[in-house]
Structure 1
Amino acid sequence: MDLLLHRLRAAGFDAVTAEAAHGGVVALAGLATLRDGSRVFAKTLRAGADDLFEVEAEGLRALSVAGLTTPEVLAVTPRLLVLEPLPPRRDDDERFWEQLARDVAHLHTTTRGDRFGWHRDGWLGRLRQDNTWHSDGHAFLAQRRILRWLPEPLVEAAFDAAERRALERLCAALPELLPPRPPVLTHGDLWRENILSGRAGGAALIDPAVSYSWAEADLSMLWCSPRPPDSDRFFEVYADAAGLEAGWRDRLPLFHLRELLSSIAHDDYAAECAEAVREIIAPFA
């Protein structure tokens, strides 16, 4: 926290104290109190990833322009990101999840693009997210979101040659498994810890890994990661607002492969995630 306070002061924030925040895998983060009693949320890096905060701030602004609630970006440098602080979400409020569903449905139905990807690479945790533009959604999902992780050392060590071939066969079969859908702007890392409460009490989103991708890629993060109790209402309202084609529950694990492989690459619940990958690729072994 001393490093965070030092960098806040160097950026012009008269920070007095900072309380550490937990849960991230890259940055040192905390809630800082300024001399006038106001508070800011800040992140800093010890080293590396010089454009991480710039990419994150750009993603927050893109989502905000698209109509979602995100924290205001107060300052961004290669070593510091300062945001408006937001309160935690309430998991027992069904109306909260209903509003989030309408917000995400609006994002997915009003931001259609003509290519998959983003104008720059991003970050997922401490590793690069390959956002190279692609006109073919199935190829984009295979190359940029799934197979991209195979060369990572911990992923390479987790699977034998037969398992890697099974994953490659699954990717080759994606055109038969997934109905073609248009690219839309996605948050990219829409799991429960990246959902907070906004200024007006609705949902606010943080820590994006934005790109134009499949809408179901966002849904997979909420469906396949541990879900808060009332989040089931999210999928009911989303289906009414944006539509969900038959078989969506069977398709979401395919999109979730990216998150499972990324977690292995980050050594985050790696053994558990590797078993989940094996279950998904079993039909292609």
Structure 2
Amino acid sequence: MEKALDRLKDILGEPQLVATPLSGGDTTQAFLLVGKNGRYFLKTSPHPDSLALLQTEAEGLHALNTTQTIAIPKVIALERIGAQPFLVLEYIESKKPEPSDFEKLGHNLAALHTAECRNDFGAASDNFIGSLPQSNRKHTHWADFYINERIWPQLQMAVSNKLLGISELPKQERLDKFCADLFKDITPSLLHGDLWGGNFLISNSGTPYLIDPSHYRGHNEVDLAMSRLFGGFGPSFYQAYREIIPTPLAEQEYIDLYQLYYLLVHLNLFGPAYHSQVSAILNRYFR
């Protein structure tokens, strides 16, 4: 770390830097850097794909920022120092969210989802969901994208990892028909892609920030479904969001089918603890 700090001093124009470890995610290590001229958020990772992980995070932050709809931490530097990459971001002093902060987050997320967007689903490059590769090959139809780039890869991985049995997989034709019927008239929105409670901040001034994106163009309800998976964001968030984007008739089906992807990801990352939730959704819709 000392060698990295010496290099980062040059990059940041700081005569001194003090690094303090912060709680990080499952795949990264985080530090607060304090210098004479400012404070910075530093991420690094021992993961074999660490450079690609941090590169795609920086790309995602840039993509979200181009919409000018919601605050994003500024990307300051992405450097490989020795064999290890380091991502330096603007440090955001944060506070515990209040209902009014959730309201603003809901309005801003809806603005992101209604920003002008390309007509296809996917992204210019693949990225990651947690530490797992996430394919973003472009498709014209949302059902095709969601089946082929999201659900089937995770189902096949779970079978390969012996976390699901082959008999538990939905029949391809049943999955295709169900999704084709459910996902009609879906238009692309730019998504955060991994919007749980650990991936937003409320600054001390009350400004909502999105962090750690797994971005692509998809159905706006994906972000809403993920936000509900681990406790939800509070009623003022959903009320504010629905003032701009009304509740769809198939909201519960969307929640279940989109949470299925994230539950499969957790099954593949963390093991059998998530099997019962995955199995429940598969049985509800495909048995």
Does the pair score TM above 0.5? yes
Q: Deviations over 1:96-149 (max 9, x none)?
A: 111111111111112332100000001111121100011110010111111111
TM-score under structure 2 normalisation? Answer: 0.88
In the superposition, relative to structure 1, how do residues 11 and 127 fare at CA in structure 2: closer, same or farther (>3 Å)?
A: farther
Partner of 1:224: 229
Q: Quote the Cα distance in structure 1 between the aligned partners of 2:66 and 2:149.
A: 25
| Deviation at residue 200 of structure 1 after TM alignment | 4.0
Q: Quote the Cα distance in structure 1 between the aligned partners of 2:122 and 2:3.
A: 35
Pairing 1:184–2:186 present: no
Pairing 1:257–2:268 present: no
Contact 1:75 1:82 in 2 (8 A): yes
| Deviation at residue 236 of structure 1 after TM alignment | 1.2
Q: Quote the Cα distance in structure 2 between the aligned partners of 1:280 and 1:15.
A: 53
Q: Quote the Cα distance in structure 1 between the aligned partners of 2:148 and 2:249.
A: 25
Partner of 1:38: 38
Contact 1:88 1:197 in 2 (8 A): yes
In the superposition, relative to structure 1, how do residues 273 and 10 fare at CA in structure 2: closer, same or farther (>3 Å)?
A: farther
Pairing 1:76–2:78 present: yes
Equivalent pairs counted in the alignment come to 279
Residue 122 of structure 2 aligns to a residue whose secondary structure is coil
Q: Quote the Cα distance in structure 1 between the aligned partners of 2:177 and 2:40.
A: 47
Q: Deviations over 1:50-69 (max 9, x none)?
A: 32222211211211121210
Pairing 1:122–2:127 present: yes
TM-score under structure 1 normalisation? Answer: 0.89
In the superposition, relative to structure 1, how do residues 76 and 179 fare at CA in structure 2: closer, same or farther (>3 Å)?
A: same
Contact 1:224 1:253 in 2 (8 A): no
In the superposition, relative to structure 1, how do residues 15 and 139 fare at CA in structure 2: closer, same or farther (>3 Å)?
A: farther
Pairing 1:205–2:205 present: no
What's the C-alpha RMSD, in Å, of the aligned pairs? Answer: 2.3
Q: Deviations over 1:84-104 (max 9, x none)?
A: 11133423x111111111111
Contact 1:188 1:210 in 2 (8 A): yes
| Deviation at residue 47 of structure 1 after TM alignment | 5.1
Contact 1:4 1:44 in 2 (8 A): no
Partner of 2:94: 88
Bigger mean CA deviation after superposition, 235-244 or 197-206:
197-206
Residue 156 of structure 2 aligns to a residue whose secondary structure is coil
Contact 2:53 2:128 in 1 (8 A): yes
Pairing 1:241–2:241 present: no
Q: Quote the Cα distance in structure 2 between the aligned partners of 1:150 and 1:3.
A: 42
Report percent identity of matched pairs: 28
Q: Quote the Cα distance in structure 2 between the aligned partners of 1:90 and 1:118.
A: 33
Contact 2:159 2:165 in 1 (8 A): no
Residue 17 of structure 2 aligns to a residue whose secondary structure is strand
Residue 29 of structure 1 aligns to a residue whose secondary structure is strand
Q: Quote the Cα distance in structure 2 between the aligned partners of 1:184 and 1:211.
A: 8
Bigger mean CA deviation after superposition, 254-263 or 162-171:
162-171
